[in-house]
Chain A
Amino acid sequence: MVKMDLELITTLFRTSIRMATPILLASLGGALTYHAGIINVAMEGLMLISAFFSVVFSYLTGSALYGILAGMLASIAISLLYSVFVSFLKANNFAIGFALNILVSSLTLFLMRVMFQGKNAFNSPDIASIVELKLKTGNYFLDNYIFNFSILTYLSILIAFLLAYVIYRTSFGLRLRVCGEMPEALKAAGIKVGFVQLWSSILCGALCGLAGAQLSLYNVRMFSRDMTGGRGFVALAAILISGGKPKRILLISLLFGVFDALSVKLQSEKIAPQFALMLPYIMSVVVLLLFHLKTRKRLKNA
């Protein structure tokens, strides 16, 4: 009995980490544009285009690394487009973000139909998966809780701490934050707001690219239409709750990962699978709601 519970907890933990990784990567990317003054609603599309091109190039070259790189490049390209519209053409970021999301959603479907002859999903044994940090120490805890995750999981945690340093301790981070909070000051210092935002968008594109690759080359190893399923907006919720602080994002993404894992687990239980499937979305609304209730109380007390 005890053994079974331990197995269950281990599976849940591992699924949580697996599901949390793309959300973490995307929200770290979005945090960069958030600090630069852009609420990034295009992350959904960035992840989706990367998920698609990762699968395609991993399939064509047989190498997950080329897949990831292709996905990142595609994601960066869309992110650059977003940035040009928002920062230089001064278009509304929500309007352009959603237009891009819808473009990517139909473009990936269109390309899949053209390239792989009319299917709603593309999978093949030739798609190379992202490698895990394979280490068998013989210790149950180390093997299941520390090692043997996707290398992108370790990378994402590293990036979280790196960004915590970059955003609050470097001159680039300072420019980023000033760009979001006081763009006039940046202008006065002779730095172009648009270019700071452009750089943050490029980095955001790269991180969302990694997120998409983790989704399609590790979590499921296939591409299906709209497979990101709102994760870009779960990531946006994580950014809004954390105020763009990387270490907090780390915790919140993990929390959202747990809900995703519970959703996967509950689907095999007796309750209707639809309730399991809606759980992550309900919980991200609930967490956002709790956060707002708390801040409102704090404002009232102050």
Chain B
Amino acid sequence: MFTARTPSLKKLSFSLLLVVCILSVWALIIWFGGESPFKGFYYIIDGSLGNHYQILSTLNKMVPLILAAAAVAVPAWTGMWNIGGEGQLLLGAFGAALVGFSVDFGVGLVNIVVALIVSAAFGMAWAAWPAIFKIKLKMDEVVTTLMGNYIAAQIIAYLINKPFRDPKSPLAQTPYIKSSFVIPYLFEGTQFSATFFVAIVIVLALFIFRKRFLLGYEFEITGSNSVFAELSGVRVSKTKMLSMLIGGALAGLAGGLLVLGMTQRVMQSFSPGYGFTGLLVCLLAFNNPLLIVGIAFLFSVLHTGSVNLQLFSSVPAEISGVLQAVMVLFVAAFKTFIVGRRDG
């Protein structure tokens, strides 16, 4: 914390070494997958940023990542671990779909806002019980939020199989939401929609909340020193609870935006692990909202690029997960040398 912020030569060279390390291990992995690294990198970049369709779809993929990462970051400010983003996202998605296919308020905007509020509430509810257990009973929230993911996945599987299954479909999925709930695509040929701007606005709001509001400061000191916070009059348990609820709401909202802006229903394997990728994004961004946007962009490039890589080579698209996780480990290893140890 107290190390000088000026970029010294040592820090600069470590940062450079970090980039070289990550790139060379990435190259090695691509080579192992059966493609020459240079071609591999080309396919990844070309497939994600090659033309404006691909850029828009890369930006679109950022939406769930940004929100899922923020869902980890906000509780982390107060020292809480929210590993349950995946389950909260699923429930949020179901909440939005439930509103979308069962009610109608007549006005499109009202519909969308109500559906999103419900999705956030569903996510929040799923974050509430681990938070209560943690605060009242000191029950480890890492275990409970993680178990929550598996439980939520089965609850959703049941709901879309039995009570809310689309009767017209051979697959286990909910009916489509009504057209007045759909957040329309903005451009022909891509799924890019206003959901992207919603995510950006939320991140900016979180940034301002953290830096400019008293409550944001209370979050911060609760996380860095809860005893000091308690002594200075912050109600620590209330702050922790609130941070967890906000986290759950953000994850739920991610699910809601996915339903309204893209899938228009909830089906089996709705989320390919957004919650966990969001966790990686948050770890790389050191809980900083603005950095989350940058890292989410990078992850999204890797993700859409890897799909393109699979098209043109023998490398499976699952490589993106490996590349992302490797990056997290290298950054964690180099962190001490570049930014200095924050908690010593």
Q: Are B151 and A233 in contact (CB under 8 A)?
A: no
Q: Which of A18-26, A63-71, A157-165, A275-283 lies at the interface with chain B?
A: A275-283
Q: Are A114 and B34 in contact (CB under 8 A)?
A: yes
17 other A-B residue contacts (CB within 8 Å) besides A103-B326, A109-B318? A39-B140, A39-B142, A81-B329, A89-B332, A99-B283, A102-B276, A102-B280, A103-B329, A230-B149, A237-B143, A240-B140, A240-B143, A274-B161, A277-B154, A278-B154, A282-B147, A288-B143
Q: Which of A4-12, A90-98, A139-147, A179-187 lies at the interface with chain B?
A: A90-98
The A/B interface has a contact count, at CB < 8 Å, of: 134
Q: Which of B95-103, B209-217, B251-259, B333-341 lies at the interface with chain A?
A: B333-341
Flag whether B81 is at the interface (Cβ < 8 A). yes
Q: Are A41 and B142 in contact (CB under 8 A)?
A: yes
Interface size (A, Cβ < 8 Å)? Answer: 43
Name the residue of chain B whose CB is nearest to the CB of A114: B33
| A103 in contact with B157 given A110-B33, A114-B32, A229-B150 (CB within 8 Å) | no
Flag whether B83 is at the interface (Cβ < 8 A). yes
Flag whether B198 is at the interface (Cβ < 8 A). no
A-B contact pairs, 10 of them (CB 8 A): A98-B279, A102-B280, A103-B326, A105-B276, A107-B325, A110-B29, A233-B143, A282-B147, A289-B139, A292-B139
| A272 in contact with B162 given A114-B316, A285-B147 (CB within 8 Å) | yes
Name the residue of chain A whose CB is nearest to the CB of B316: A113
- What mask results when residues 132 to 175 of chain B are scored 1 for a CB within 8 Å of chain A, else 0? 01000111101110110111001101100110000000000000
CB distance from A115 to the nearest CB of B (A): 10
In the bound complex, CA of A108 to CA of B138 (Å): 34
Flag whether A296 is at the interface (Cβ < 8 A). yes
DSSP majority for the A interface? helix
Flag whether B234 is at the interface (Cβ < 8 A). no
CB distance from A110 to the nearest CB of B (A): 5
Name the residue of chain B whose CB is nearest to the CB of A41: B142
CB distance from B64 to the nearest CB of A (A): 16
In the bound complex, CA of A22 to CA of B143 (Å): 18
Residues of A within 8 A of B (CB): 39, 41, 81, 85, 89-91, 94-96, 98-100, 102-103, 105-107, 109-110, 113-114, 118, 229-230, 233, 236-237, 240, 272, 274-275, 277-278, 281-282, 284-285, 288-289, 292-293, 296
Flag whether B290 is at the interface (Cβ < 8 A). no
Q: Are B316 and A233 in contact (CB under 8 A)?
A: no
| A94 in contact with B333 given A114-B34, A285-B147 (CB within 8 Å) | no
In the bound complex, CA of A118 to CA of B34 (Å): 14
Tell which of A89, A118, A229 touches B333, judged by Cβ atoms closer than 8 Å: A89
Flag whether B12 is at the interface (Cβ < 8 A). no
Q: Are B151 and A281 in contact (CB under 8 A)?
A: yes
Q: Are B154 and A275 in contact (CB under 8 A)?
A: yes
Kindly list chain A residues whose C-beta atoms are within 8 Å of the C-beta of B143. 233, 236-237, 240, 284-285, 288
Tell which of A96, A98, A105 touches B83, judged by Cβ atoms closer than 8 Å: A98
In the bound complex, CA of A96 to CA of B336 (Å): 14
DSSP majority for the B interface? helix
Kindly list chain B residues whose C-beta atoms are within 8 Å of the C-beta of A240. 140, 143
Kindly list chain A residues whose C-beta atoms are within 8 Å of the C-beta of B147. 230, 233, 237, 281-282, 284-285
Kindly list chain A residues whose C-beta atoms are within 8 Å of the C-beta of B138. 292
Q: Are B318 and A233 in contact (CB under 8 A)?
A: no
Flag whether B229 is at the interface (Cβ < 8 A). no
In the bound complex, CA of A90 to CA of B142 (Å): 20
In the bound complex, CA of A198 to CA of B324 (Å): 26
Tell which of A107, A110, A233, A274 touches B154, judged by Cβ atoms closer than 8 Å: A274
Q: Are B321 and A109 in contact (CB under 8 A)?
A: yes
Q: Are A106 and B336 in contact (CB under 8 A)?
A: no
Q: Are B158 and A275 in contact (CB under 8 A)?
A: yes
Kindly list chain A residues whose C-beta atoms are within 8 Å of the C-beta of B277. 102
In the bound complex, CA of A196 to CA of B161 (Å): 50
Q: Are B161 and A110 in contact (CB under 8 A)?
A: no
Kindly list chain B residues whose C-beta atoms are within 8 Å of the C-beta of A98. 83, 276, 279-280, 283
Q: Which of B274-331 contact A (CB under 8 A)?
A: 276-277, 279-280, 283, 314-316, 318-322, 324-326, 328-329
Q: Are B336 and A90 in contact (CB under 8 A)?
A: yes
Kindly list chain A residues whose C-beta atoms are within 8 Å of the C-beta of B157. 274, 277
| A296 in contact with B322 given A236-B143, A275-B154 (CB within 8 Å) | no
Name the residue of chain A whose CB is nearest to the CB of B134: A292
CB distance from A231 to the nearest CB of B (A): 10
Q: Are B322 and A94 in contact (CB under 8 A)?
A: no
